[in-house]
Amino acid sequence: MLDLLPFIYRLCAKLGERIFMHDDERILALMAFLDCTADVAEALDAAMSQQDFTHKDVIVHQGDENAQIWLVLGGKAQLQVIGYEGQVTLLATHGPGELFGAFPEAAVSNMDVKVYGHLTALQIATHELHHLLREYPSLGAGLSRILGKQFNTILDRLASHVTLTATGRVYRELLRLADEQDKVAPPPVIAALALTAQTTRETASRAVNALVRRGIIDRDKAKMQIVSRGLLESLII
């Protein structure tokens, strides 16, 4: 099933675009994301509804009761915590094939879930997903794989916050955003980059400009290209 993933990621629209999937395309996506058989994917698809959100929509508010879970088809959902003084901390960003919401049971949300770009996701009630897990136990393996990967990503982010400087976190995030050709297209928005790296916009801007001056990256309106990945990696301290 996992060899379908490259096809599915191409099928999902780029950030900021709306996605329309036919039934068979959604089933293919579910088979790839959850590594499940067609009958399991069809049962799951029948219990889910496709939802579309626009930039800066808040899907779940911090402090709200939530009894839903979403599987991202395209776009990004940011999990943000608002502190006592109004400061915003980004905990995680979930993209295609990842989950967010209330699981394994309904709960009061301890964070905002905010859309970055255009988001398309499949939504299912938490209790409905429980029912499907009892009926199709093999579905649990796919969910565990997704949730385990997300858990490791959050732990990695926390470790970076403790061990890396603010500039190092910015550079690490640039590497994470780059594709196989060391390209980020469209180029990252500095404010969003700063939020992800948990630093100020000014720090992120200075860090990126330093890379441009040294020729480590090239940047224009369409893309950012990492010219020397080795040099960039050496600056992550």
| Mean pLDDT computed over 98-106 | 94
Place of tokens 């500039």: 167
How confident is the model at residue 19, as a pLDDT? Answer: 58
Dihedral of the CA atoms 63, 66, 71, 73 (nearest 10)? -60
Q: What SS3 string covers 200-231?
A: CHHHHHHHHHHHHHCCCEEECCCCEEECCHHH
pLDDT digits (tens, 9 = 90+) for 169-220: 999 999 988 988 999 988 988 988 898 888 899 999 999 999 999 999 999 9
Q: Using an 8 Å Cβ cutoff, are 214 and 230 in contact?
A: no
User: CA 202, CA 51: separation in Å to the nearest integer?
Assistant: 35
Does the pLDDT of residue 1 top 60, yes or no?
A: no
Q: Using an 8 Å Cβ cutoff, are 144 and 35 in contact?
A: no
Cα-based distances in Å from 193 to 83, 167, 189, 205: 19, 11, 6, 9
| Mean pLDDT computed over 154-161 | 83
pLDDT digits (tens, 9 = 90+) for 158-181: 888 789 999 999 999 999 889 889
Confidence grade of residue 18 (pLDDT, cut at 50, 70, 90) = low
Residue-range domains of the chain with CATH: 2-162 (2.60.120.10), 164-234 (1.10.10.10)
DSSP for 38-68? HHHHHHHHHH-EEEEE-TT-EEE-TT-EE-E
Nearest to 232 by CA among 159, 172, 152: 172
Nearest to 53 by CA among 124, 158, 123, 150: 123
pLDDT digits (tens, 9 = 90+) for 53-101: 999 999 999 999 999 999 999 889 999 988 777 778 888 889 999 999 9
User: CA 170, CA 172: separation in Å to the nearest integer?
Assistant: 5
Cis ω for the linkage preceding 186 (within 30 of 0): yes
Q: Using an 8 Å Cβ cutoff, are 100 and 32 in contact?
A: no
